[in-house]
Amino acid sequence: MITLIFRIIKYGFVGFIRNFWLSSATLAVMILALIVMQGLIIFGTIAKTSLVSLQDKIDISVYFKTTAVEDDVLKIKRALESLDEVKTVEYISREEALIQFKTTHKDDPTISQAVEELGENPLSASLNIKAKDPKEYPAIAAYLNNESISTLVDKVTYSQNQLVIERLTKIIDTIKRGGLVLIFVLAGIAVLVAFSTIRLAIYSNREAIGIMRLVGASNNFIRGPYIAEGIMFGIVAGLISVLIFLPLASFATPYIKVFIPEMNLSSYLLMNFWSHLGTQLGIGIFLGVISSLIAIRRYLKI
């Protein structure tokens, strides 16, 4: 059995080398498909990081009337915290708000003076609410409109970033969908080209295949080398695509960092190198084997 597998791999390898020019055309298309695939995977990661970083920046702030009692505000805080949609609720008391205001404007003497002259604290207490999912802000806003609360509330600020995020989500979704279509098209072309290569290999070996049949070679022994050839296409294309993609990614890293400071593409890729390589090899082998199987089914009569 092991001898047989070894021989199948050997013949597959010989076929791969013999059809070098044909093989390289197949490899080129497969590599292209795999690079685009990697691009899309990385794009997905970048998009996710940027969305998370943006989402972290939106919240709802509820400003209470200066007459509102602290206990009532804290009660509302607890009620909000018990909601499933809410991630965190931060309470800023009137005093804290004043301190924050003063620190922000400490370089502006007119404002500090104006506050001093007022004699009393003009600022209201507020709750800063963050949702688990940006989609849930409308629900939280609706909850705050509840009569028992709204009597205490001065104003609610919300949705300043919402529009930006919605747009970004849409753009990302569109690009992802477009990329997916591109991947399918390229994968289809890669399979077609690999299929043709293997079909030609079968055609040029038809004499040997006929003789193999005559001398009683098993079906697996006749088919095996072509499957092995498909696997080799996948492995080589996967390796080369990663080798091409890594320098490209490290070149792009500083540019991406400008947009999303949290994202270091190079170190991300290096950290996930093995799983990244594994994915590429897996996809490459999958495409190669699919191509071989189609070619064998259609052209290798046993």
Four-point Cα dihedral 208, 210, 213, 217, nearest 10: 10
Judged by CB under 8 A, the residue of 4, 99, 171, 243 near other proteins is: 4
Least Cβ distance, residue 252 to other proteins (angstroms): 47
Least CB distance from residue 54 to other proteins, whole Å? Answer: 60
126: amino acid identity, one letter: S
Determine if 206 is a binding residue for other proteins (CB under 8 A). no
Task: Please answer whether residues 233 and 30 qualify as being in contact, where contact means their C-beta atoms are separated by less than 8 angstroms.
Answer: yes
Assess contact for 83 and 143: CB atoms under 8 A: yes
Minimum CB distance to other proteins, residue 13 (Å): 15
Q: Which stretch binds other proteins (CB under 8 A): 2-10, 128-136, 239-247, 290-298?
A: 2-10
DSSP summary character for residue 65:
P
Near other proteins in 211-230, by CB under 8 A: 211-219, 221-222
The Cα 1–Cα 9 span in angstroms is 12
Cβ closer to other proteins: 118 or 215? 215
Nearest to 67 by CA among 151, 129, 156, 146: 151
For the bound state, the minimum distance from the C-beta of residue 204 to other proteins, rounded and expressed in Å, comes to 11
DSSP string for residues in 233-268: HHHHHHHHHHHHHHHHHHHHHHHHHHH-TT--HHHH
Check residue 191 and give left, alpha or beta (phi > 0: left; psi -120 to 50: alpha): alpha
Q: Which residue among 107, 116, 147, 207 contacts other proteins (CB under 8 A)?
A: 207
The CB-of-9 to other proteins minimum distance in angstroms stands at 13
Residue 124, SS3?
coil
With CB under 8 A as the contact rule, which of the stretches 44-52, 152-160, 209-217, 269-277 interacts with other proteins? 209-217
Q: Which is nearer to other proteins, 143 or 221 (CB)?
A: 221
CA dist 122 → 84, 101, 109, 157, 283 (Å): 33, 11, 17, 18, 63
**Using CB under 8 A as the criterion, what x/- string covers residues 5-44 for binding other proteins?**
--x-------------------------------------
| Interface size with other proteins, residues (CB under 8 A) | 19
The footprint of other proteins (CB under 8 A) covers 1, 3-4, 7, 207-208, 210-219, 221-222, 302
